Structure 1
């Protein structure tokens, strides 16, 4: 019933829910003290509407955990704004933490980034201790840096992507120190070569990539929570941003996420017109029938056997069992330069697709992406086939799909 609160008619305000954490926000144009009081009166009505709904359904908003914030640098707004919940008055707070991200009234992101640095520093100390052990190998240490350091430094990056360079330097300093420990190189080593050695994007560049992917998801998935704050790319005259940027005088320039990732979109040849809005599944995912995965045919054959013999046996098996199926062949490959790609082919429909992937991804990810694109293509066929078989030479991909280990399967699979 808590999640049904998202269906309330709140007019200009927006409501988002994650489990039992709720956020209500509205962009207002504060020109004078009278305007502020009028806007706050309307905002109070929406808060009361939510509180009444909760009380009607047997819930109660916690005044101890509820925080009211005014994202502005104008002191007049902070002195004038307040809301009341269950008779308790709440005044604007300077900062608060929501879903692990620390927000300040000026959107400076300093407290949040300082918190990330402290957490990552503790992980760095652990990696330093492990690196001194005789059994510590380089590759596991690099995985630890990815899991314990980068994962913490990048938490909330879709929110603080526009943080100033002075804040990004704090994050990059900790990650580079961890990579130097894991690689066993001196502290004076050139930092730019570290990422080439481990095959990662630098922290800030990966943030821009993740934000670009988020912008795609926002456009393709309808009714997202942040859709109200993401107008069309380049639409800097949008009312929300005029209110946030020029009227409330926030310290940080507040622009749509599209403006920050516009360069990546242009390099990738993406545009709003090329994106297709996706729909929801007609039935829940847990009711989907699991595919039949065949990993090993037996016959005692191994990969080291004669390729001609293997091809003959494989063709015979395919013709025997899948002659009446729509056959889809997938493959992924990576060059020595790190360039990656994948392809799929459907001989029965005379369809061939090729995809260029991000530089530095693993062959495992390339194979899985080819399988994913094959499933997408089959799902979009105008006439669904009676039987489909996807044929791949990646045994590790099939094993990962069979076991359903989420930590091994990239998000697109």
Structure 2
């Protein structure tokens, strides 16, 4: 069928909405140097005008798909936001660095993220326009000098370039799309991303569609097929006195009807081996078992699989019960089972089907949340079973399929490690000490002047005489207070006698902690110290910088 007959059919079908020809447009996509004449297409007898570029769903499309128009549009928006950040960051009582970074991710990065999967394949020179403005805003937030390397900017702010961002967003999109077979776009796409995911052994588009389940989800107005209850005490209150919590639980348990079956479930994940296990116990039937899930399964899947295995065990039992009460310490698992919304995790639909099957045979399921690690005997038993299962190589294995969120979490870790390794090529100590892309908490400070001063000292790009001499060889690199040494961060923080009096409290803290007073430890670059010590050192250093007036020098 040609375009003209199709347009006539569309217009006949859409008489109720009345598509307007003057609001419609034609864009003929071609890379030809001399494109032909504009196509003549009519809607209800009115010609649809042809445009060299057009905005559709917030993205500007041009004839040659070079994305110059859209990139210029995003670049202009980022420039306007740069002026806003300059005003806010330079305010006398402006927000701290972490707040400004959050604003950057919400206001600036959201603009560049929209449509990035499509326009991200534009030329590097065009994309670099957005990168330059984005880095300028990050410099304003961190208070960095123009000479600060971009790797330091990305590492200190927890952000990334457009190329890395597109890699993450496109992979996330493909992994989500592979589990939505009824989506019109559900087909292998983004060949470069697909090849990368295949090298990482990701099953992006499973042959057998897992979702939606054949189980019919109830309407939102319809009550769920199970009962959910909650322990009267919160986790925080229950953990204060575990013995009292356990005795209170036993009192409540004694009030239960004897014919009701009681069961406990729990899940566990080892971060070292990425092994997830689940366990269930039914004291009345003298059953206690544990299973090992597929590698890289989340704790959420482990909790769901524990409930599923428990229900399956009861369903396979020869004896019938009027009801079963499952005590679980995962409130998210209970809430998502109770919800009528479809879920991406295959265990949820299977749990709902088992509940319906049990209900048809006269067994009502009740899910009850209890606090974990509070002395409740049944919960402690299944927790121990799940933990021990991680060390025991048994045949009790569940070949569960990973959900999209679990696959995305796996890729996120791999992507973050590769990006961090790329940043570490800069060989800056403030990057080499990082083990993740997250910002280091003790590198931040509520006082913006102190935060900027600490950042400049860590990055090595500051206004001290040693760095000024690197820029201008005629500048004097010696200490401005008359010391016969070069004025660098080590000198002003550790050695300069002018600041020795203000340095006494820092020396006392280091002596109490049996540490050596040096430049790296002062700036939070020593990864061997615990978090509490890092914050104590940072607070003493902040007081030292205020007393000596170094915040206005560095």
Instruction: Indicate whether the TM-score tops 0.5.
Output: yes
Q: Is 1:72 the counterpart of 2:30 in the alignment? A: yes
In 1, the alpha carbon distance for the partners of 2:255 and 2:134 equals 51
**Per the alignment, in what secondary structure is the counterpart of residue 220 of structure 1?**
coil
Change (3 A) 1:299 1:107: closer
**Per the alignment, in what secondary structure is the counterpart of residue 301 of structure 1?**
helix
Give CA-to-partner distance per residue, 1:350-378, whole Å, 9 cap, x none.
344477599xxxxxxxx999897996523
Give CA-to-partner distance per residue, 1:258-311, whole Å, 9 cap, x none.
3334214422633434784522784587447589585971598376x47x6588
- 1:163 paired residue among 106, 115, 122: 122
Q: Structure 2 unaligned segments of length 5 or more: list them.
A: 282-288, 299-329, 337-342, 359-364, 373-403, 407-554
Bigger RCO (CA 8 Å, 6+ sep): 2
**Per the alignment, in what secondary structure is the counterpart of residue 200 of structure 2?**
helix
Change (3 A) 1:87 1:184: same
Q: Is 1:126 the counterpart of 2:84 in the alignment? A: yes
Contact 1:195–1:201 (CA under 8 A) maintained in structure 2: yes
Q: Is 1:46 the counterpart of 2:6 in the alignment? A: yes
Contact 1:216–1:275 (CA under 8 A) maintained in structure 2: no
In 2, the alpha carbon distance for the partners of 1:199 and 1:312 equals 43
**Which residue matches 1:83?**
41
Change (3 A) 1:258 1:301: same
Q: Is 1:143 the counterpart of 2:102 in the alignment? A: yes
Question: Aligned ranges for residues 124-273 of structure 1 at < 5 Å?
Answer: 124-133=82-91, 134-227=93-186, 230=187, 232=188, 256-267=189-200, 269-273=202-206
Change (3 A) 1:267 1:52: same
In 2, the alpha carbon distance for the partners of 1:297 and 1:329 equals 19
Change (3 A) 1:350 1:299: closer
**Which residue matches 2:459?**
none
Contact 1:342–1:357 (CA under 8 A) maintained in structure 2: yes
**Which residue matches 1:105?**
63
Change (3 A) 1:324 1:43: farther
C-alpha RMSD of the superposition: 4.3
In 1, the alpha carbon distance for the partners of 2:331 and 2:156 equals 24
In 2, the alpha carbon distance for the partners of 1:282 and 1:318 equals 35
Give CA-to-partner distance per residue, 1:372-397, whole Å, 9 cap, x none.
7996523234633723456687xxxx
Change (3 A) 1:73 1:300: closer
Contact 1:69–1:94 (CA under 8 A) maintained in structure 2: yes
In 1, the alpha carbon distance for the partners of 2:86 and 2:231 equals 41
**Per the alignment, in what secondary structure is the counterpart of residue 120 of structure 1?**
helix
Give CA-to-partner distance per residue, 1:105-158, whole Å, 9 cap, x none.
111111101111111222222122111222411111110000011001111112
Q: Is 1:350 the counterpart of 2:287 in the alignment? A: no
Shift of residue 102 of structure 1? 0.3
Q: How many equivalent residue pairs?
A: 315
Q: Is 1:383 the counterpart of 2:341 in the alignment? A: no
In 1, the alpha carbon distance for the partners of 2:3 and 2:193 equals 31
**Per the alignment, in what secondary structure is the counterpart of residue 73 of structure 1?**
coil
Contact 1:328–1:391 (CA under 8 A) maintained in structure 2: no
Contact 2:265–2:278 (CA under 8 A) maintained in structure 1: yes
In 2, the alpha carbon distance for the partners of 1:138 and 1:131 equals 9
In 2, the alpha carbon distance for the partners of 1:259 and 1:221 equals 20
Change (3 A) 1:327 1:108: farther
Q: Structure 1 unaligned segments of length 5 or more: list them.
A: 1-40, 233-255, 359-366, 394-410
Larger radius of gyration: 2
TM-score between the two structures when normalised by the length of structure 1: 0.62
In 1, the alpha carbon distance for the partners of 2:136 and 2:36 equals 41
Change (3 A) 1:391 1:180: farther
In 1, the alpha carbon distance for the partners of 2:280 and 2:346 equals 17
In 2, the alpha carbon distance for the partners of 1:122 and 1:112 equals 16
